[in-house]
Structure 1
């Protein structure tokens, strides 16, 4: 069995080790509450969930009528996600990708990335820009991410690799860094949410998470905006 090595620089090694060291499930199986809230007003279509883990968000979206593809770098996580989908009688597609190397093909009505942070090297911003490019006209792009974490957990940094600090931007910082064309995107949600964790010793800690949902304009509206920015004859 693979062992979890938080200093691993290879994403597959890192996350396969993390999932494989647990005989049971790492996560609760429930969808992220912030995702449930953020997609409540959307009409189901095709969806892509990046870093799907054991499939909690994928199963939720599929139950809501979405045609979902879940992506993760860990074979163990994907095997559990498929098992959960089969047990629930839910149809979903799962693909293994190291998102720093390969990316699912196609365009989607919804692309989600929930807590896509990694000790292993990951150009997260480049991945999220590619994810935004996979959103179909009229679709939505949802990113959930940690902004601060409980003091008990310390900073997200590996002592052996002090340069491998995990970036934890606010929603507005992330939106600015993505630098998506304003004439093609609108901000549907930009917020900070807090949730409390109870640790094994009974103490509690507070996470602050960022929620950023960007909606891409339908094709005809994009074309209109592009016409507006074109030079006009004198």
Structure 2
């Protein structure tokens, strides 16, 4: 990969550089809310959770949520937000590198929403798939395009993302590209082209 997503890189991001201030203010991804709305809450793992937006939304909906991120700076924001929302008992935070970390359990829902690591997205997704319990869900949301300051390997397509999931072990619930516009704190609109992949482990 042309540049690494190290802990130092992400700590700098969450201190305000590279759009970190804007990311802290973003609402939960609408696809996370819609794809999980009809699921019975259980255990959830949000990998690359950043400032905890989606993990907190899941906790609010009754999930026993764990947010994992390589950046201590990001998780400081997440813990502060959890306390402010009265959810500090419903969600826990773990500083860890998703490329080397192994959870102690499998989860009913494993989520990756714009998580990047110093390996191709498809390799990251293969690691996350191992952490899904039988009958559990894997929800992946990635970038269809790559940003100028991000390597191409940080983006994917629905076809590439789904290629590693055989029908014998996985049922595809959702696979699509989606364009959406999000508002930054300064009022400017940003166009995002998302890749959404939602799978059920058989």
1:141 aligns with 2:126: no
Shift of 1:117: 2.7
Instruction: Summarize the alignment of residues 1-234 of structure 1 with structure 2, pairs less than 5 Å apart.
Output: 9=4, 11-21=6-16, 26-90=23-87, 91-118=90-117, 121-148=118-145, 155-157=148-150, 164-176=151-163, 179-197=164-182, 204-217=189-202
**1:8–1:14: 8 Å Cα contact kept in structure 2?**
no
**2:15–2:21: 8 Å Cα contact kept in structure 1?**
no
Q: Name the SS for the 2:24 alignment partner.
A: coil
When normalised by structure 1's length, the TM-score is: 0.75
Shift of 1:202: 7.3
**1:29–1:54: 8 Å Cα contact kept in structure 2?**
no
Mapped to 2, the partners of 1:166 and 1:67 lie a distance apart of 31
Q: Name the SS for the 1:148 alignment partner.
A: coil
**1:156–1:166: 8 Å Cα contact kept in structure 2?**
no
Deviations 1:125-179 (A, max 9, x none): 3321121111111110000011136xxxx5454xxxxxx4334222222111xx2
Shift of 1:111: 0.2
Which runs of 5 or more residues in structure 1 are unaligned?
Answer: 1-6, 158-163, 218-234
Shift of 1:116: 1.4
Deviations 1:191-234 (A, max 9, x none): 221112457997655221011000012xxxxxxxxxxxxxxxxx
Q: Name the SS for the 1:13 alignment partner.
A: helix
Q: CA RMSD in A?
A: 2.5
